[in-house]
Copies of this chain bind each other. A is one copy, B any other.
């Protein structure tokens, strides 16, 4: 089900700037027992993204109202919130005033096999590279051709593809952030010139008792890791069991972070 500006629909204005220029931002949120998980963090990131892109942020009350409406009677699902700069303007020039398009959609929770979380996934390195753009780095904006192209490189043989930037640094998965454990220290890639600052990444960095270091990761660093895992708001944590020809255990720190995350989700849902 989709709400656009509060109304149920299946269509959007053909002049919407989201369609023409990818001129928007989005959030993907897990729903458990009618409650959106880490909603505060998702809305904060969306607002921060709107500030950078100079898109008027709608009232949180409106957004939360739409989300609540779609979450009713949903035990487990996914909500996508997307904001675009709306219709109008002349070419790239933005309309004045901006009438933001508020798109909220409910999706079923994907039917991932339980084994992905319990036994880990198989991953690969993509040949599609991430470009460098410090201005847009971190944001979950709608300019996603790099991820779409990377995802065309395989079908069902792998569960995720890791992406390097054009300098060769390993940044993230196509739909996840990457974490590397080496000698009892957890690392994740710095998101400075490219990549998305995922909410799960942020939660792990800021809310767990473990100190996680943001760093530059080479392909060699990743391959030589003791443990590897990827995160996003829908899957939580998936350990990587296999990457190229190498296999990895689901190590102690990965397991510890999975427990932390589970507790944090429970705490977050109690706040609602």
> Judging by beta carbons under 8 Å apart, are B12 and A145 in contact?
no
Closest-CB distance, A179 to chain B (whole angstroms) = 20
Given contacts A12-B14, A53-B149, contact A144 B174 (CB under 8 A): no
> Judging by beta carbons under 8 Å apart, are B85 and A148 in contact?
yes
Q: Per-residue CB proximity of A176-198 to B under 8 Å, as 1/0?
A: 00000000000000000010000
> Judging by beta carbons under 8 Å apart, are A21 and B19 in contact?
no
- How many copies the complex holds: the figure is 2
Interface residue ranges of A94-117 to B (CB < 8 Å): 94, 103, 105, 110
Closest-CB distance, A128 to chain B (whole angstroms) = 7
> Judging by beta carbons under 8 Å apart, are B151 and A91 in contact?
yes
C-alpha gap A10/B194 in the complex (Å): 35
Whether A175 is near chain B, meaning CB under 8 Å from some CB there, is yes
* Residues of A in contact with B (beta carbons under 8 Å apart): 2, 4, 9-23, 26, 53-54, 82, 84-85, 90-94, 103, 105, 110, 128-136, 141-152, 166, 174-175, 194
With A12-B12, A53-B149 given, name 17 new contacts (CB 8 A).
A2-B14, A11-B14, A17-B148, A19-B142, A21-B145, A22-B22, A22-B143, A23-B148, A54-B149, A92-B147, A93-B151, A128-B135, A131-B133, A132-B133, A134-B166, A135-B149, A143-B143
In the A-B complex, the 10 residue pairs with the smallest Cβ-Cβ separation, listed nearest first, are A22-B22, A131-B133, A143-B143, A21-B144, A11-B11, A92-B151, A92-B147, A19-B19, A12-B14, A18-B19
